[in-house]
Copies of this chain bind each other. A is one copy, B any other.
Amino acid sequence: MTPSSPFPKPPAAAAVPSSPADGIVTDREATRQAREQQVGQRPGTLTVHEGALPPRLFLTSYDDKTCHEQEYTGRYDELMDFLRAHPGLKHWVDVRGYNDLPLLERMMQDFGLHPLQMEDVLNDYQRAKMEVFDEHRLFMVSRMTDFTANLEVDDDQLSLFTGPNYVLSFQDDYDDCLDALRQRIRSNFSTLRRQPSLYLAYALTDVVLDHYYPTMAAIGDYIERLEEAIFADSRPKRLLNRILRIKKDVVRFRRLVYPERDKIAEILRLPEEIMPESLKIFYRDAYDHAIQALDLAESYRDNISSLTDLYMSDQGNRMNEVMKVLTMISTIFIPLSFVVGLYGMNFQRHDDHGRLLPHNMPELYSPWGYPVVIGLMLFVVVGQIYYFYRKGWLTNR
């Protein structure tokens, strides 16, 4: 992981970390998405969701010799002037934050975007997808994942539009996980600068795919810690909840990555004139990465199902142990209690008339009665303990 990676491993890694949302196994995020959908609205209506940030504009312009980086926030006209003035450079226009509808509408006009596409950009929950428009331009949506300290799979959207000599990218917050890519552009010897602007779109997609691995690794770490917790003496509270909730996260991750894989597969099927073979070889590599991420997710699903089995079996074992304690105590003491009760009976040695009744509990009148009974009981107890030992009840199975 490079030091500038925006997705550090969650620090709450000591023992099974708990979080405020710990134990929530249902996918409340999904319900929130459903709740925010507007009914009956005109398709293509642009609505900026609450709490959106005002947009910042970044421009990176390069060719194999030069590289120019500048922030144009609030100066969109200047940005367009620069673009028009340098048709020979390749441009990456990076928009972060959506909260400026008039600006977005101007961009739609200037860059020739469809309202439905812009609606997809603003819609936070758009699945990864790819569309060809204007015959040979591409519109791509990717979902970047993150495993938060809160133990949730968080996902952000990266939307891309390609043009003849530019790539337009939209993100909804200022945090930017594309820094590693920016570094590569700055470097003089980067092959990226020699490639057409379409390659930049690939590179952006590839960065998204690369971010799946830290997410998966964090999930994997958590699963390992859950496994250790199952057999810990003091099993943490709501352990099954945590197992089921990480399962929810893995399921969520899969639902995010599957469309990404399908998107890349679709790109690979594009005709030569839209996506040249020399770039497809890179997408084939990306496809391998997406498959590998899904393989990992499958693997985790199997692991979690094994953990659930272990948990349930361990629950059974603990019950078994409780029952063994009860059974041993009862088996040892209930017969003894009978014996002592026996000699607590009040059968009388003499009847009402004072006649000796010799058959009534003569043991009580024997000089060694008490020690013999005590000895007998000790013998029974030792025998029972030996029996339990042989059954393996004393050792903890």
Residues of chain A touching chain B, judged by Cβ–Cβ distance below 8 Å, are 1-2, 4-5, 7, 24-28, 30-31, 33-35, 37-44, 114, 116, 119-120, 125-127, 129, 131, 179-181, 183-184, 190-192, 203, 206-207, 210-211, 213-214, 216-217, 220-221, 223-224, 227, 231, 233-235, 237-238, 240-241, 244, 247-248, 251-252, 255, 281-282, 284-286, 288, 291-292, 295-296, 298-300, 302-303, 306-313, 315-320, 322-327, 329-331, 333-338, 340-349, 351-352, 356-357, 359-361, 363-371, 373, 392-393, 397
Contact = CB atoms under 8 A, between A and B. Distances in A.
A26 B223 contact: yes
A309 B40 contact: no
A126 B235 CA distance: 38
A365 to B, nearest CB: 5
B347 A349 contact: no
B299 A241 contact: no
Given A217-B31, A347-B364, A43 B306 contact: no
A33 B296 contact: yes
**How many copies of this kind of chain does the complex include?**
5
Given A237-B397, A323-B319, A330-B330, A2 B210 contact: no
Most chain B C-beta atoms within 10 Å of own C-beta, residue among A25, A33, A39, A337: A39
A126 B288 CA distance: 8
Nearest to A293: B34
Contacts of A296: 30, 33-34
Given A331-B326, A345-B370, A299 B30 contact: yes
A47 to B, nearest CB: 12
A236 B303 CA distance: 22
B344 A207 contact: no
Contacts of A216: 31, 34
A297 B343 CA distance: 67
Contacts of A347: 343, 363-364, 369-370, 373
Contacts of A116: 281-282, 285
Given A39-B211, A216-B34, A288-B126, A318 B318 contact: no
B43 A206 contact: yes
Contacts of A37: 210, 213-214, 217
Given A224-B26, A326-B326, A368-B359, A240 B310 contact: yes
B241 A310 contact: yes
A288 B220 CA distance: 31
B295 A127 contact: yes
Given A26-B227, A207-B39, A326-B326, A244 B361 contact: no
A214 B40 CA distance: 12
A303 B335 contact: no
Given A315-B313, A320-B315, A365-B357, A247 B340 contact: no
Nearest to A315: B316
Nearest to A259: B291
Contact of A190 (B42, B129, B298, B338): B42
A251 B298 CA distance: 10
Nearest to A131: B284
Contacts of A43: 203, 206, 282, 285-286
B345 A31 contact: no
Contacts of A231: 238
A352 B367 contact: no
Nearest to A37: B213
A299 B330 contact: no
A352 B39 CA distance: 92
B392 A39 contact: no
Report, nearest first, the 3 A-B pairs whose CB atoms are least far apart. Answer: A40-B180, A31-B220, A37-B213
Contacts of A359: 367-368, 370-371
